Amino acid sequence: MGAVDNASRTRLTLVAIPISHYCEKARWALERAGIDYEEERHLQGFHHYFAKRRGGDFTTPVLVFPDGRPAIGQSSGILRWVDEQLGDDQKLYPDDVASRVRATEHWLDATLGPDGRGWLYGEILDDAGLIEKYGLDGIPANERRVFWGVFKLFKPYLAARIRVQGTQADQQSVRDVFDEIAARLADGRRYLMGDRFTAADLTFAALSAAVILPRNYGVELPPLDSLPASLRASIEEFRAHPAGEFALRMFAEERPPAAWLAESAPAAAASVTNR
């Protein structure tokens, strides 16, 4: 899809927290554009040091260029750089709707992103086994060992960093965003801006991942049947919401098949239906 010629490129590096939905935004945009990159994954907490060391601020994702150009931090900055590499027919910020796309992206980054993440972590933060199995994919072995050694300290750090407001408050905030997105789609349009996929659609779908657990994500997410019944019921409710159905469709139709799906089961990569 609108692949960029990589013959003259040197490989880029994406510094990331593997499960982060903000990192998924960047990952999705790079893969959709056909831009070759490698992912450098770190545990929450460690990521502050590596993001800063690699030229970003203290947050991920950070896109690092091998030729000495300044790194790009923040998912929105990476999406804008990717957009500059694309032809007009694949633009994430088409000229005629660019300001509306940026406004929607900013709104979602500030609301759905932290609130959806806060809700999920509020639900699973006491389950160290679940976090280790699905939250530490691809991180260095020394960081994985530290996770178990300092988990009691890790919990309050995560709770503070990801702005856990309490599961009910976060869940209601997510519902409010979902209701607004559903209202925008109520006239039957295929995408948020009409008939074209843009950064607004990508951002909404990627940041919804914390509450819908899509199949075709950059790392494996927990299957519903592995979760407590109350959490499973909430995710099923979000998936059944018109906005949740829209997000799942974006993952199925607009996101290139995730690499882990192809590696774990080649047949699954051809079908990215959700569990």
CATH 3.40.30.10-classified regions of the chain: 12-90
Question: Tokens in use for 22?
Answer: 């903000």
Number of alpha helices (DSSP H) and beta strands (DSSP E) in the chain? 14, 4
164-209 residue pLDDT tens? 555 788 899 999 999 999 999 999 999 999 999 999 999 999 999 9
* pTM (predicted TM-score): 0.89
Q: CATH for 95-269?
A: 1.20.1050
252, 274 Cβ separation under 8 angstroms: yes
Tell me the angle at which helices 21-32 and 75-84 cross, rounded to the nearest 10 degrees: 10
Percent pLDDT > 90 in the chain is 65
Token match 């051809």: residue?
270
Considering the four listed CATH numbers 3.40.30.10, 3.30.70.100, 3.40.710.10, 3.40.50.12160, the one that applies to the domain covering 12-90 is 3.40.30.10
Which regions of the chain carry the CATH code 1.20.1050? 95-269
pLDDT tens digits, one per residue of 69-89: 999 999 999 999 999 999 999
Residue 56 near residue 153 (C-beta atoms within 8 A): no
Mean pLDDT (the chain) is: 88
Q: Are 39 and 16 in contact (CB under 8 A)?
A: yes
Q: In this model, does residue 163 exceed pLDDT 80?
A: no
